[in-house]
Amino acid sequence: MDEKQQEKREARRKRRVRNQIISYSVLGILVLALVAGIILGVRVFTENRNRQQEEIQSSQAVIDNMLGSEEEIQTPEPTPEVVELTPEQKLDGIVEEGISVMPLEDKVAGLFIVTPEAITGVSTAVKAGEGTQKALTQYAVGGIVYSGNNIQSEEQIKEMLDNTQLYTKYPIFLAVNEEGGSAAQVAEAGIGTKVDSAKTIGENGGETAAYQAGQTIGATLKNLGFNLNFAPVADLANVENSIMAERSFGSDAKSVGTMAGAVVMGLKEQGIASCLKHFPGLGGTADDPHKGLATIGRTEEQFRSEEFVAFQAGIDAGADMVMISTASAPEITGDNEPCVFSQKLVTDILRKEMGFDGVIITDALNMSAISEYYGSEEAAIMAIRAGCDMILMPEDFEAAYNGVLQAVRDGQISEERINDALKRIYRIKYADKYGEQITE
């Protein structure tokens, strides 16, 4: 009985153990399955999430591209507008570029027109050699003016002018006084065709003869190598014993202006720059400023109704320069100082009222009307401060040059004032490049 019960207990125990083993096995299998499912789920989730992120990024890239394309379509980059410069703007560009590379010393020297003797130190210059080359290297003057003493023959003056051009750093004015009649340095040397004096043209020829005179003189000067003529005279010979009686076209403002303008056009067509002289009108006096003080006794009203009319006609015809007289005109300037020192006359009237935007140059400052009362340095500074762009023939060039240079360095004259003058000067000098720019 006991053995059977014992066997039964043992059988129950074995069944219980077997059942526990089966239960644990099943539970283990279930746990493993669960873990595997979790791992698989996590992996699937991660892969799905990565795939979704990649799809999102890809979609965003597409969107960005679309937006970028849309922005380019909606707001395209502006196409630079091609602006065609006017010939004047092209010329201004050349001028400003040329001036920008000049040192101050050369800028100041460029305001002076002097005789060849003034820079070489010789008594009479008839050729341009090593002395001229050395002088122009030291002083890059804006121009050289030649007198009858410098002109011996056509071949000689051609060679002299050609060599001078070769020795300059910058374009240079090669100037002469060639008015016609006896006031003609080249014709008096037996070169070219002589033309009648202004007085003869005014009395007998009129506008047509004046134009032909300008063309004839211009052609001769161009052939020799000159590029600037200190002509025509626009003064009125309107007082008894006028200092300009033989060199003026007459006393009628309108006809004088017409003939002066005709000469300007004749010279211009031959490539020669012109210079009206002697503003405000030297013909209203019998005094000679070469010999001492000269006073023009005209009233301001007379100047405005007569002399200014003649000069305005020459300006309107295209004159490149206007020369200011060294005589005094107290009724218009308000004092007895020479006209070249009058800001009212030079800047307020000529530049602003009459609208002249060319080069304003002094008459020769070595005249007694200036040299007996003013030092070369003082006279040059005063003329520039009054509004003159160029200084003609100071009594002592080196003193005048150094004086102006120091005045700029000290701030008495601004460098902007010098640049302003040079722009006008180089607009004339670079006029031969004008056509080249147009065709480019």
Q: What does the pLDDT look like over 237-265, one tens digit per residue?
A: 999 999 999 999 999 999 999 999 999 99
pLDDT for residue 10: 58
Q: Determine contact, residues 231/179, Cβ cutoff 8 Å.
A: yes
Residues 223 and 246 in one domain: yes
- Taking residue 108's Cβ as centre, other Cβ atoms within 10 Å add up to 31
**In terms of domains, do 389 and 427 share one?**
yes
Residue 149 is given by DSSP the state G
The number of domains in the chain is 2
- Co-location of 283 and 179 in the same domain: yes
Strands 143-146 and 112-114, sheet pairing:
parallel
Amino acid at 45: F
Residues 6+ apart with CB under 8 A from 377: 399, 400, 402, 403, 404
pLDDT of residue 439: 33
Instruction: Name the residue with tokens 């503003």.
Output: 279
Among 82, 106, 135, which residue terminates a domain? 82
pLDDT tens-digit map of 364-373: 999 999 999 9
Answer yes or no: is 87 within a domain. no
Contact 362, 401 (CB under 8 A): no
Gap between the Cα atoms of 249 and 264, Å rounded: 14
Residues 60 and 143 in one domain: no
Written as one letter, the residue type at 419 is: N
Asked if residue 412 is part of any domain, the answer here is yes
Q: How far apart are CA 26 and CA 36, in angstroms?
A: 15
345 part of a folded domain: yes
30 and 123 housed in the same domain: no
Q: Which residues are catalytic?
A: 290, 363
Query: Which one is predicted more confidently, 67 or 81?
Result: 81
Backbone phi, psi, residue 172, to 5°? -130, 145
In angstroms, the Cα distances linking 115 to 146, 188, 268 are 6, 19, 24
What does the DSSP 8-state code read for residue 282? Answer: G
Q: How many whole angstroms separate alpha carbon 46 and alpha carbon 340? A: 96
pLDDT confidence of residue 440:
34
Q: Are residues 354 and 327 in the same domain?
A: yes
The tally of CA atoms less than 13 A away on the side-chain side of residue 28 is 6
Q: Do 245 and 296 sit in the same domain of this protein?
A: yes
47 lies in the same domain as 174: no
CB 202 within 8 A of CB 250: yes
What would the mean pLDDT of 220-249 be, rounded to a whole number?
97
Asked whether residue 158 is assigned to any structural domain, the reply reads: yes
Overall average pLDDT of the 297-321 stretch: 97
Answer yes or no: is 308 within a domain. yes
For residues 239-252, one letter each, b for 16 or more C-beta atoms within 10 angstroms of the residue's C-beta and e for the rest, the string is beebbbbbbbbbbb
On whether residue 165 sits in a domain, the answer given is yes
Range of the domain at 28: 1-82
Q: Distance (Å, rounded) from C-alpha 190 to C-alpha 72?
A: 76
Same-domain status, 134 and 231: yes
Residue pLDDT, tens place only, 113-124: 999 999 999 999
Confidence (pLDDT) at 437: 41
| Least confident range of 8-12, 213-217, 286-290 | 8-12
In the 8-state DSSP scheme, what is residue 328? B
CATH number at residue 392: 3.20.20.300
Residue pair 339/295 in contact (Cβ under 8 Å)? The answer is no
Among 21, 52, 82, identify where a domain stops: 82
Instruction: Name the E strands within 283-390.
Output: 321-324, 359-362
Q: What is the pLDDT of residue 56?
A: 38
Q: Are residues 191 and 285 in the same domain?
A: yes
The Cα 174–Cα 165 span in angstroms is 9
DSSP H or E run through 178:
strand 178-180
pTM beyond 0.85: the answer is no
Q: Binning pLDDT at 50, 70 and 90, where does residue 60 land?
A: very low
In a domain, 163, yes or no: yes
Q: Are residues 59 and 105 in the same domain?
A: no
- Residue that has been written with the tokens 């970028």 in this structure: 68
pLDDT of residue 334: 95
Indicate if 50 and 112 belong to the same structural domain: no
Domain limit, last residue, from 82, 109, 135: 82
H or E element that contains 279: strand 273-279
Q: Is 88 domain-assigned?
A: no
**Cross-strand bridge partners of residue 324:** 279, 362
Q: How far apart are CA 391 and CA 397, in angstroms?
A: 10
Q: Report pLDDT digits (tens) over 160-179.
A: 999 999 999 999 999 999 99
First to last CA, the chain: 136
